Amino acid sequence: MTKEWGRPVSQVTEHGGGVWSIEVPIPDNPLGHTLVHVLDTDDGPVLIDTGWDDPASWDTLADGLAALGTSVTDIHGVVITHHHPDHHGLSGQVRDASGAWIAMHAADTDVVRRTRNAEPGTWLDYLTAKLTAAGAPDDHLAPLRAARASGRMRTLPGLSAALPDREIVPGDLLPLTGRRLRAIWTPGHTPGHVCLHLEETHPAKLPGNGRLFSGDHLLPGITPHIGLYEDPDDTTVTDPLGDYLDSLERVERLAPAEVLPAHQHAFTDAPARVRELLGHHEDRLNGLRALLATPLTPWQLAERMEWNRPWDQIPYGSRNIAVSEAEAHLRRLVKLGRAEAVPGGDPLTYVAA
């Protein structure tokens, strides 16, 4: 173990039983950091998620591994919970340095492939059409139309994300020598989100079934964003919130002794946290249904929903995310028969049923 003077000591936490976490910073983000987990295997260390693609984040990851007496070049494999850049950002660089494989669920690999191949114009057209259908006002659509007309299109994040070379198959044990790590498909936050269940006795003998690396699916103090899956090629009506609630119940049934999430901190009593989140979403659906006493477009619903700040203070990009979240809730209400589309509207409005 080496330590260079004058550099901050990396935030490494030992969780016991050959598991550690490294706090890898996310620049300019209120979440602060991603917890990159290191799992010791007989073939070398395996990472669960890698962190944001930024030089300072890379240095923190490298320093953390050095503090554990290993190195980025020794990494045997990379298991990704989902494709978001705070989880998958550094995967390519880790693979380049070590020759490690990268594993991801096929549905999220599809997102990575689509984003890498996307023409910025296609994405802008999709976003414009989607927001128009959701009832976005002209002043919100104008910048998108102007960008399209000028040909000056901002490049998309994730354009250079690494294409994984292995598929995480739901229900399967990952091929790790000396460890039992099973993939649990938990769609909702993304279509291919997985949790990883370490089917080994808890090192402190806490009651429950092993430990769960939960990614963004189950966090101790925040609710992950549930929006639409945003696939321009997919015309099926997906129900991400329904997927998410089902995935929560799947994790509740596992009853892990401890949860090791990708943000915040490790915690116990996963079933209690699951019930809290199920209750939160039930309350939110009831609240939205009450708002639909008069017909509203998804945009109008988003304007009336409760956010962490007033609607007029929500920045442009976050409004798009908010509308996506409103639509995910609408789809759920429609699927449950608690709301319905008003026929003939353009844009379409929804009303409580």
> In the complex, which residues of this chain contact Zn ion (CB under 5 A)?
84, 86, 216
Q: Which is nearer to Zn ion, 227 or 298 (CB)?
A: 227
181 pairs with which residues across the strands? 198
Q: Are 194 and 81 in contact (CB under 8 A)?
A: yes
With respect to Zn ion, which residue has the nearer C-beta, 230 or 303? 230
Instruction: Provide, rounded to whole angstroms, the least separation between the CB of residue 184 and Zn ion.
Output: 16
Task: Please name the helix (run of DSSP H) or strand (run of DSSP E) that holds residue 328, with its range, or none.
Answer: helix 316-335
Task: Find out whether 232 and 126 touch, Cβ atoms under 8 Å.
Answer: yes
Tell me how long the chain is.
Answer: 353
Q: What's the closest the beta carbon of residue 193 comes to Zn ion, in angstroms?
A: 8
CB of 325 to Zn ion, least distance (A): 13
Q: How far is the CB of 224 from Zn ion (least distance, A)?
A: 6
Using alpha carbons only, give the angle 62, 43, 49 rounded to the nearest 5 degrees.
45
Torsion sign, CA atoms 138, 309, 339, 242: positive
Residue with tokens 């039983």: 17
Q: How far is the CB of 82 from Zn ion (least distance, A)?
A: 6
**Contact of 50 with 36, CB cutoff 8 Å:** yes
Q: For residues 218 and 339, which CB has a smaller minimum distance to Zn ion in the complex?
A: 218
- Using the minimum distance from each CB to Zn ion, give the nearer residue, 64 or 135: 64
| Closest residue by beta carbon to Zn ion | 84
Q: Judged by CB, which is closer to Zn ion: 112, or 339? A: 112
- Give min distance, CB of 86 to Zn ion, in A: 4
- 186 vs 300 by CB, closer to Zn ion: 186
Per DSSP, 130 falls in state H
3-state secondary structure of 321: helix
183: helix, strand or coil: strand
